[in-house]
Chains A and B, each alone.
Chain A
Amino acid sequence: MAARAGPCCRAGLSGGALLSRALLSRALLSRALLSRASGTPAPPLWGRAAFSSAAAVSGREGPQAREGSVRRRGWTPQFARSAAPPRTERMAVDQDWSSVYPTAAAFKPASVPLPIRMGYPVKRGVPPPKEGNLELIKIPNFLHLTPPAIKKHCAALKDFCTEWPSALDSDEKCEQHFPIEIETVDYVSSGTSIRNPKARVVTLRVKLSNLNLDDHAKKKLIKLVGERYCQETDVLTITTDRCPLRRQNYDYGMHLLTVLYHESWKTEKWESEKSEEDMEEYIWENSRSQKNALDTLLRIKASENVSNVAEEELLASEVVKNYRNSVIALKNKGETESNMSQYKESVKKLLNIQA
Chain B
Amino acid sequence: MCCALGSAFPVSYASRIMQKQYFLPSSNLMGARLAGSHGDTQESKTNPLVSLSDEPETLYKRLSILVKGHDKAVLDSYEYFAVLAAKELGISVEKVDKPPKTIERFTLLKSVHIYKKHRVQYEMRTHYMCLELKYLTSSTAAVYLEYVQRNLPEGVAMEVKKTKIEKIPEHIQKPVWDTLPQVEETEVKS
Contacts and interface: CB of A to CB of B under 8 A. Distances in A.
Nearest to B29: A156
Given A147-B84, A183-B163, A159 B13 contact: no
Contacts of B139: 160-162
Contacts of B135: 164, 168-169
Contacts of B57: 162
Contact of A158 (B26, B38, B154, B159): B38
Contact of A104 (B89, B151, B155): B151
Interface string A234-271: 00000000000000000000100110011001100000
A179 B25 contact: no
A154 B85 contact: yes
A174 B74 contact: no
A179 B27 contact: no
Interface string B28-46: 0110000010101001100
Contact of B13 (A151, A162, A174, A188): A162
A148 B175 CA distance: 57
B54 to A, nearest CB: 13
Contacts of B174: 212
B89 A157 contact: yes
A186 B61 contact: no
A166 B159 contact: no
Interface stretch (A138-146, A317-325, A344-352): A138-146
Contacts of B149: 188
Nearest to A266: B177
B36 A179 contact: no
Interface residues of A, number: 58
Given A147-B84, A161-B89, A178 B137 contact: no
B31 to A, nearest CB: 11
A186 B159 contact: yes
A188 B137 contact: no
Contacts of B93: none
Interface in A182-199: 182-190
A36 B143 CA distance: 72
B16 A162 contact: yes
Nearest to A180: B166
Interface string A190-216: 100000000000000010001110000
A166 B90 CA distance: 13
A174 B143 contact: no
Contacts of A139: 71, 73-74
A103 interface: yes
A228 interface: no
Interface in B48-106: 49-50, 57, 59, 61, 71, 73-74, 77-78, 81, 84-85, 88-90
Contacts of B14: 162
B2 A151 contact: no
A270 to B, nearest CB: 12
Nearest to B59: A178
Contact of B172 (A151, A190, A261): A261
Nearest to B142: A160
Contacts of B16: 159-162
A160 B164 contact: no
A262 B151 contact: no
Nearest to A250: B164
28 contacts: A103-B25, A104-B151, A139-B71, A140-B153, A140-B154, A142-B81, A150-B84, A155-B36, A156-B27, A157-B147, A158-B38, A159-B43, A159-B44, A162-B2, A163-B2, A164-B136, A168-B59, A178-B165, A181-B163, A181-B165, A182-B166, A183-B161, A188-B149, A217-B175, A258-B171, A258-B172, A261-B172, A265-B177
Interface of B: 2, 5-7, 9, 11, 13-16, 18, 25-27, 29-30, 36, 38, 40, 43-44, 47, 49-50, 57, 59, 61, 71, 73-74, 77-78, 81, 84-85, 88-90, 135-137, 139-140, 143-145, 147, 149, 151-169, 171-177, 188
Task: Report, nearest first, the 10 A-B pairs whose CB atoms are least far apart.
Answer: A154-B88, A140-B153, A265-B175, A178-B165, A189-B157, A161-B140, A152-B27, A188-B158, A167-B6, A186-B160
